[in-house]
Amino acid sequence: MISMKLNGNKILKYLSHAVTVAKMSAKKYSGISEWWQNLSVTKKLYGIVGVMALLIASELLTLMFAMSTLSAVRAFIAGEGLWTKAQKDAIHGLYQYAIGGDEKHYDNFKENLVINEGDHIALIEMSKGKEFDRQVVRKGFVMGGNHPKDVDGMINLLTKYYWISYVNDAITAWISGDRLLEELKKSGEDLHQSIQKKRPRAKAQILNNIARINSDLTIVETNFSKALGAGSRWLENLLLTFLLLLVATIEGTGIYLTYRFSRNLSTTLKNLVDTAAEIGRGNFSSLAPVNSKDELGQVAMALNRMAADLQANAIIREQSEGVLRASEEKFRLLVESVKAERKDAEQRLYRLNESLEKRFESRTSELQDREYQMRIVTNALPVLIAQIDTNEKIIFANEKFAEWVESSTRNIVGQSLQQTVGSERYCLLDGYIKRALNGETVSFERSENVGESTPFETFLNITFVPEKDMTGKVTSFILVANDVTKYKEIESELKNAKEQADVASSTKSAFLANMSHEIRTPLGAILSFSELLLGQELKGEERVRGAEVIRRNGFLLSNIINDILDLSKVEAGKLDIERVAVHFDEVVSEIKSLLNLKATEKGIRLTVTADGAIPDVIVTDPLRLRQILLNIVGNAIKFTQQGSVDIKISLVSENSGAPKLRFLIKDTGEGIKPGHAKKLFEPFSQEDVSTTRKYGGTGLGLVLSRKLANSLGGDVELLASSPDEGSTFSITIDPGDLKKVIFQNFETRRLNAAPDIGITVDFSRVKILLVDDSLDNQLIVTHLLRSTGAKIDTANNGREGVDKAKQNNYDIILMDLQMPVLDGYGAVQELKQFGYMKPIIALTAHAMKEERVRCLESGFVDHLSKPIDRHLLTKVIDQYTKTRGELITTL
């Protein structure tokens, strides 16, 4: 019982405190409400706009925070890639050192740990807690390969949000990886000592320990990546939810402030109209309520003063009329005795009456002026206002309402609402009007098309407020409408932006996953066989096959990059198309020669036939035509396991227009499922997009071929396809003007074609200067030209190349563009200023036309793109050293 009593006393105490707080809050709110009511209409509008601006600013700050945090996560992901590559390269260096004992590999091992050492320094400093030196951490992260602008975000993410589980998991994985790297560093030192002291048993144990560390590091890297990925997705969902709530808050606040403002405005205007009507009927005691000190409140006070003045004038007039009656009685009694006084009294009475009439006219004019001022105020408001009686006749309307119905206030006052707004609008408003006339305040939104030549959709927020007399009977209602089109447009733009972002994210993820697979597959083959060739595992013919695997996968990797670049050029409208005369049979024979080996390896038959006469010469871009045929025919061979791939060539006319050259490629392969055919020509799309698909490919071949065919005046189409029966593709191009072209039988022309002629060159008397900062490129060019007998001298940068060119008599210079000390452009300009006249050929990894043009304008005589083709290199050198080289022609 005592406990219950004590609890009851506590409850009473809490209730008393709550009542006190409620009273204080109500008093504070009352003061704020009174302050708001006394503001001018303009300041209230500014206040509403200011609140909306603050809410939008909050949304922008939230977006900035989201971008900053996601940028920090992106920096960590990029840093993790550098960290992983460094430790993998370090371990690879240790293995190479263990195999060959070359100190160069051990030095590479220590150099690769520099990046990891920077992260280690940052980790050690941050482990000190709140007392850590931020500059030391910054230097550590920058030393680890991170961009200086990303470092502050990374530090904030680790120090301020470590309590988030995802960040904590990433920190844990980082600490584990750092501990393993320290262990790897110690094992590397032990391995160095064991090799120096020639202790093979200790060496084997250390290598086993290094393999274990490598495996543990892989697990730690995976955990780190998973933690960052999960954290990024969690943060994205959290920020998206917060942004949606903020948008909802902005919309709700806008609607609430607009509703409150519109309702207060309509109520005040209704009171003013009622008061003016009562004064007009002679009820001068009727006063308008004054609830604020703004413009409408001042109008109400002026209207009340006018009513008081009119009432005073009425009293004075009544008093004057009484005096007049008394005077008339006296005049009647004294008329015969005092005529002079009567005449004087009449004159004074006339003057008094004239004065009263003038005062009445003045007060009436003042009332009209007040009514005019009220109309000016309502016309200045950015909303539609009208007063409609119970018979649906318009009593009052401002100019905004008149503009809405395309009329004037003078013409619509007294008219029916249906006649004024039109039957179509009235049908939409009829139900709400009935509810307002029944005493219900109604708010709703509606849209309508505005304009005749170029109509656009506009949205209105409409409110009906009923007016009632003393008995509660509805006498009229006020219509207030506000244009909310801009808010709707903002809402629609936000929705569209989200949908576009979702589609872009999905497409990007699919493309990156596919590119990762397609690039890593040939890259893995190149790295693996390169490592085998460096070792002793492959002998004799196996080494030749290994080199062929490297070469084939290198070409595959180059083709993937070229496809991506070509597609980006087509999409940007910057693809260069040339139209030159070319012998058609040479193009077709080259394509068959290139693909016939691939078909023969798979045991399928590749045939090329012609349907009718084919032009001997066509005008087109031969490079792009070869690219299209290689893509389409190559796909047919790739998806055909047995049977044949047949190419039929013909000349067709489309819609009685200029003839087109058509290639029909028919295969007996797997075919295409009906539901997948429509996706063939979409960028980055394939029939099977899973990572375990049977065939490789980027998904760019068909879409690139179609765009190239469009550029050549034709198209690429899928004519027919059935699963397990094969597909038929059609390629058409514009062959140019055929009026003066000779037509022959394609098979006959191929039989009459001249045999191939092989050309080799003797460069034993040619002296070449090779300027390239890459020792690998120097070795490649030297080996490519070894069989020609050329004398090759090398320089490691542009400055060294210029000095050697001035001191020696070279026949030709091969020069890289991007080099330290002095690049290729600077070197060739210095040589030209010196008066150097020998040909200089540019060697560059840039294959763009703009780069070639820049080279020729800078002083180079020609341009070769990397990777360098042996035959093209030999041809260019022979072209510019004809007086030195000796052609040897063989059939």
Query: Does position 835 have pLDDT exceeding 60, yes or no?
Result: yes
User: Averaging pLDDT over each range in 127-136, 349-358, 777-786, 839-848, which range is the top one?
Assistant: 777-786
Q: What pLDDT score was predicted for residue 177?
A: 73
Q: What is the pLDDT of residue 732?
A: 92
Q: Are 80 and 221 in contact (CB under 8 A)?
A: yes
pLDDT confidence band for 91 (50 / 70 / 90) = confident
- pLDDT at residue 109 is higher than 80: no
What are the DSSP calls for 32-85, one per residue? HHHHHHTS-HHHHHHHHHHHHHHHHHHHHHHHHHHHHHHHHHHHHHHHHHHHHH
pLDDT in tens, 366-378: 766 776 776 777 7
Task: Quote the crossing angle between the two packed helices 148-160 and 41-100, to the nearest 10°.
Answer: 100
Q: How confident is the model at residue 836 (pLDDT cuts 50, 70, 90)?
A: very high
* pLDDT top residue among 788 and 260: 788
Mean of the per-residue pLDDT values for the chain? Answer: 76
- 186, amino acid identity: K
Distance, CA of 235 to CA of 71 (rounded, Å): 12
The per-residue pLDDT for range 147-198, each reduced to its tens digit, is 776 666 667 666 666 667 767 777 777 777 777 777 777 777 777 777 877 7
Query: What average pLDDT does the segment 620-639 reach?
Result: 86
Amino acid at 665: I
Q: What's the pLDDT tens digit per position in 322-335?
A: 777 777 777 666 66
| Residue 692 scores a pLDDT above 60 | no
Mean pLDDT of the 446-470 span = 74
> What's the rounded Cα separation, in Å, for the pair 275 and 471?
17
Statement: residue 133 has pLDDT above 70: yes
Query: Residue range 504-519: average pLDDT?
Result: 63
Q: What is the pLDDT of residue 1?
A: 39
- The per-residue pLDDT for 758 is 44
Q: Indicate the pLDDT class of residue 2, thresholds 50, 70 and 90.
A: very low
668 Cβ contact partners less than 8 Å away, ≥ 6 residues apart: 604, 640, 642, 643, 644, 645, 725, 726
At residue 492, does pLDDT exceed 60?
yes
**How far are the Cα atoms of 205, 784, 785, 868, 887 from residue 780, in angstroms, in the given order?**
39, 6, 9, 9, 23
Please give the pLDDT value at position 29. Answer: 52
The amino acid that residue 84 corresponds to is T
In the predicted model, is pLDDT for residue 658 greater than 50? yes
Say what the pLDDT of residue 162 is.
62
pLDDT digits (tens, 9 = 90+) for 567-619: 666 666 666 777 888 888 888 887 887 788 788 888 899 999 988 888 888 88
Q: Hunting for tokens 């198209």 — which residue is that? A: 715
pLDDT of residue 808: 94
pLDDT at 175: 78
Q: Compare 775 and 694 and report the one with higher pLDDT.
A: 775
For residue 840, give both structure tokens.
């200089």
Q: Could you tell me which residues are beta bridge partners of residue 770?
A: 794, 814
Cα–Cα distance, 786 to 332 (Å, whole number): 150
More confident residue, 10 or 343: 343
Indicate the pTM of the whole model.
0.40
Model pLDDT, residue 335: 60
Among 223-237, 422-436, 540-554, which range has the highest average pLDDT? 422-436
| pLDDT of 833 | 93
53 vs 513, residue with greater confidence: 53
